Structure 1
Amino acid sequence: MKQVQNIVIVGGGTAGWLTAGVIAARHQGRRNHGFSVTLVESPNVPIIGVGEGTWPTLRTTLRKIGVSETEFFRQCDGAFKQGARFNRWTTGAADDGYYHPLMLPQGFARVNLAPHWLAEGEGSFCDAVTPQGQLCDAGLAPKTIATPEYEALANYAYHLDAGKFSAFLQRHCCETLGVNHVLADVTQARMADNGDVAALETAQGPVVEGDLFIDCTGFRALLIEGAMGVPFRSCADVLFCDTALAVQVPYDDPADTVACHTISTAQSAGWVWDIGLPTRRGVGHVYSSSHISDDQAERELRAYIGPAADGLSVRKIPIRAGHRDTFWKGNVVAVGLAAGFLEPLEASAIVLIELSAKMIAEQLPPNRAVMDVLARRYNATTQYRWGRIIDFLKLHYALTKRTDTGFWRDNCRAETIPDRLRDLMELWKYQAPWLHDEFDRAEEVFPAASYQYVLYGMGHRTHAPPGEGDAEVELARRAWRENRVQTARMMEGLPRHRDLLEKIVQHGMQPV
């Protein structure tokens, strides 16, 4: 019945410091009653620091832990993200492209526009139901300088410098939220008689005791694998990409346009990400080493970048696609890369950290007696989330019409498509996804709208009538009219992305 009072997080980076911030902010009222959050970080292990794309959830997370959005932009080389554009994923042609925006389709809670658009809509599905694709094409921001912090005119997430973000979170956690920071190399875990971790021994001498340990040690997985022996479950048979080459590309001109969306461009055996920050672009090639050599992958990356790639060094990052069999065992929880990793196609890494930290903070066990009950709940929810992300990433590959290389042909083989996704793809031949039709759990990470954007962006056809009754037809047409009006208003009233970023740095946004 021992109280859970001392939370120990092992490892820094985005996973460690974001988890520390979420837990410490949630339990600030307990600090005077013996509650503590301690983060143990090696002074000798660099962070991975590649992931630069986020979800809109991060706005809520940062707001809850008390971060100024203005200071976030100033200190993290932040930019706005309004979605992702996928180029050459369907046919490989030069004009092949579609958006997965962050705004829901117009009137989404009232009417499913997908079957109506399939029957009589014009242009792309994205442009028919939301302004956001056109905002991205025009390089416009999702808000104005008069819009308060964290509020939006068009839904948005962030692009950020991961190294600067970790340092920013560290300062906030230590200076504002009272997180204890221990710089030390963990050498081994002292185990209790019941199989829990009792304390951590370090090379520098301090022994760190705790009641609950959170493993944020990245691919090393010092606690969840090293101490608890939890195995890793590969999904390389579904998602083939196992290597990334990353490079930082300077702008030719400091006034160059900053893209307000992630650009994902398909290659012969993978894809290139292109993320715009105010001071540089983060560009990388994610690929399958079974289908292409490292040298050829680097040549494709440099060809994508063009002359700006001359003289730039490329960093190679292995990708071990999959996740732990169990995420919480005993009194150890794995978060971040220690829990698993998937290719960054839909920027799911940081949101999984957020969701994990939020669930741990909200359901923190009061004592050891009930910890296993909460661990089972946590494991079930987290397993479900990882499975649905794997499904959604695979959907991008399974819908392709490309047959020009073995990589694209292999991705369409039925045995590489998870059973649940295969069933849904069969259902979507006759029924357009919408709200709770197939997405009825609170743990859904991608809503039905996300599936619509990918399905119809990649040319999938659902053979279904648009619904019965004139009332529904009128709802659909009204939604289209509303979307046209909203698009015109936003195109006229929103500032250029770089202009807004410069104003935020100079003047700041109105605090909430």
Structure 2
Amino acid sequence: MVTPVRNIVIVGGGTAGWLTAGVIAARHQGRADFTVTLVESPNVPIIGVGEGTWPTMRSTLSRMGVSETDFFRECDAAFKQGAYFARWTTGAPHDGYYHPLMLPQSFGQVNLAPHWLAADGDDSFCNSVCSQGRICDEGLAPKTMATAEYDALANYAYHLDAGKFAPFLQRHCCEKLGVRHVLADVEDVLMRDNGDIRAIRTTQAGEVEGDLFVDCTGFKALLIEGVMGVPFKPCNDILFCDTALAMQVPYDAPDSPIASHTISTAQSAGWIWDIGVQSRRGTGHVYSSNHISDEEAERELRAYVGPAAEGLSARKIKIRSGHRETFWKGNCVAVGLAAGFLEPLEASAIVLIELSAKIIAEQMPANREVMDIVARRFNATTHYRWGRIIDFLKLHYVLTQRTDSDFWRDNVRPESIPDRLQDLLLLWKYQPPGFHEEFDRVEEVFPVASYQYVLYGMGFRTEVDRGALTRDASLASRAMRENAAMTQKLRAGLPRHRDLIDKIVSHGLQPV
């Protein structure tokens, strides 16, 4: 007898739970026989520090039917156009580079990296191939009031208040998408004879049965680890940061500029994030407790923030770097912190939630008989993505020239560098990242351009055969001229970041 999959139960709320609920419910809206139920404890606080997203969030919110104007008004949101990495290469005061969200000019037609290398000019790789670094330098927004919701003149993601985002998603999911919300504590998990979960028993609402259970219970991993017994695979031998101190800093004035990019500033044993939302800055020091004490780490954070830190408290968050050995077992799949966590260097936490929810929604098994096939595909894709994110985060550390502390020296030890990344670094010494086989997935979390921005932003050099560049020389030259013209046009036409946000909040963007 075929058992259809019709009742989805998400255990745990927060950003992971409500994003997953929204993506699944929106995809299957209109099916009378299909239900999405989210069960969360009324007594568990949200971690609430994931305040940076990837551009994928625009399509995710759009597919869910969320108004971008409402999102800005209710989630203290701001635009994010990339990240600026300060003091990662040499530690000198003016050492820094951008990882923008725009692809290089004419990307897909010509690889500009070898042409930029061969020119050996004074301008940075980012400025030579893309407009976004200069847009960020000048505090400009990525669109205008005439640009419709979710459309862009320069590619963008968001900064947001995580404490406001989850309740915003909750209201939308329940009011617009028909998600059933159960506020209750899980006291037991009831199993079937085949090892599947049949139901969860709650203190306040009794039994909640389901065909597929999504574990969004955070670090607790109530279902995937507590019930299904899936082990955790640490990667603290590669990524050393295991602690964060978070601090919310008010602006000096209501009209203070808002940076439209994340600022990541390297410290003696880690780095400090600085994220601007409408009403405040979110800052935090991510560090290795094996290389610095909590007290010294907090001193570095307070020194970075300056006089504004006086009287503010820092919240300590432990980071357990790594992920599950498998993500979907039986009829249980882990999403969010239950699946794993890495230091928030490139805003990978929320994008992994989005990508996981998208696969579950689009490949929703029709019945239990085919669920294991879908699970195997999900696990293969998700393992690949975690591996590539770990490689990409480590790339920021292995390219450093800093030798001023054990932390930076330890990060370049070969035994701490994944084999795949070592192979790529050797390859890239002689041929720049381009349209080769190293990035062949349809949905790479980080495209090849991201690797180029980090490599050449941090001073990596690739040996270039100038004779081999002749064929694409005119195309590359034209692309760089087009980039210069586009940069000039955007700088002249884009509004100040805070000015645009204020107008969105007051008047609203044009709906799609």
TM-score class, shorter? over 0.9
What corresponds to 1:118 in structure 2?
A: 117
What corresponds to 1:37 in structure 2?
A: 36
- 1:467 Cα deviation from its structure 2 partner: 5.8
- 1:296 Cα deviation from its structure 2 partner: 0.2
> How far apart, CA to CA, are the structure 2 residues paired with 1:441 and 1:24?
27
Output one character per residue of 1:52-92: Cα deviation in whole Å (capped at 9) or x when no partner. Answer: 00000000000001000000000000000000000000000
Matches within 5 A, 1:172-211: 172-211=172-211
> How far apart, CA to CA, are the structure 1 residues paired with 2:263 and 2:446?
19
What corresponds to 2:137 in structure 1?
A: 137
> How far apart, CA to CA, are the structure 1 residues paired with 2:364 and 2:272?
39
Summarize the Cα distance change of 1:467–1:82 in structure 2 as closer, same or farther, 3 Å threshold.
Answer: farther
- 1:205 Cα deviation from its structure 2 partner: 4.2
Task: Judge conservation of contact 1:272–1:301 (CA < 8 Å) in 2.
Answer: yes
Q: Which runs of 5+ in 1 are unaligned?
A: none
Matches within 5 A, 1:21-420: 21-30=22-31, 32=32, 34-120=33-119, 121-420=121-420
**Aligned residue type for 1:24:** A
**Aligned residue type for 2:97:** Y
**Overall identity of the aligned pairs, in %:** 74
What corresponds to 1:14 in structure 2?
A: 15
* Matched residue SS, 1:165: helix
**Aligned residue type for 2:15:** T
* Matched residue SS, 1:224: coil
Give the superposed CA RMSD. Answer: 0.8
> How far apart, CA to CA, are the structure 2 residues paired with 1:400 and 1:437?
26
Task: Judge conservation of contact 1:435–1:447 (CA < 8 Å) in 2.
Answer: no
- 1:435 Cα deviation from its structure 2 partner: 2.8
**Aligned residue type for 2:77:** G
- 1:465 Cα deviation from its structure 2 partner: 1.9
* Matched residue SS, 1:323: strand
Task: Judge conservation of contact 1:7–1:212 (CA < 8 Å) in 2.
Answer: yes
**Aligned residue type for 2:74:** Q
**Aligned residue type for 1:250:** P
**Aligned residue type for 1:157:** A
Output one character per residue of 1:236-275: Cα deviation in whole Å (capped at 9) or x when no partner. Answer: 0000000000010000111110000000000000000000
- 1:415 Cα deviation from its structure 2 partner: 0.4
- 1:469 Cα deviation from its structure 2 partner: 5.8
**Aligned residue type for 2:46:** I
- 1:468 Cα deviation from its structure 2 partner: 3.0
> How far apart, CA to CA, are the structure 2 residues paired with 1:455 and 1:124?
12
- 1:438 Cα deviation from its structure 2 partner: 1.3
**Aligned residue type for 1:131:** S
**Aligned residue type for 1:382:** T
Task: Judge conservation of contact 1:148–1:509 (CA < 8 Å) in 2.
Answer: yes
- 1:470 Cα deviation from its structure 2 partner: 4.0
Task: Judge conservation of contact 1:87–1:264 (CA < 8 Å) in 2.
Answer: yes
Query: 2:7 aligned with 1:2, yes or no?
Result: no
- 1:444 Cα deviation from its structure 2 partner: 1.7
- 1:496 Cα deviation from its structure 2 partner: 0.2
Q: Point out the more displaced range, 471-480 or 97-106.
A: 471-480
- 1:442 Cα deviation from its structure 2 partner: 2.0
Query: What is the total number of aligned residue pairs between the two structures?
Result: 510
**Aligned residue type for 2:110:** V
Task: Judge conservation of contact 1:9–1:214 (CA < 8 Å) in 2.
Answer: yes
**Aligned residue type for 2:3:** K
> How far apart, CA to CA, are the structure 2 residues paired with 1:243 and 1:51?
14
* Matched residue SS, 1:72: helix
> How far apart, CA to CA, are the structure 1 residues paired with 2:351 and 2:96?
25
What corresponds to 2:508 in structure 1?
A: 508
Matches within 5 A, 1:415-454: 415-454=415-454
* Matched residue SS, 2:204: coil
* Matched residue SS, 1:225: coil
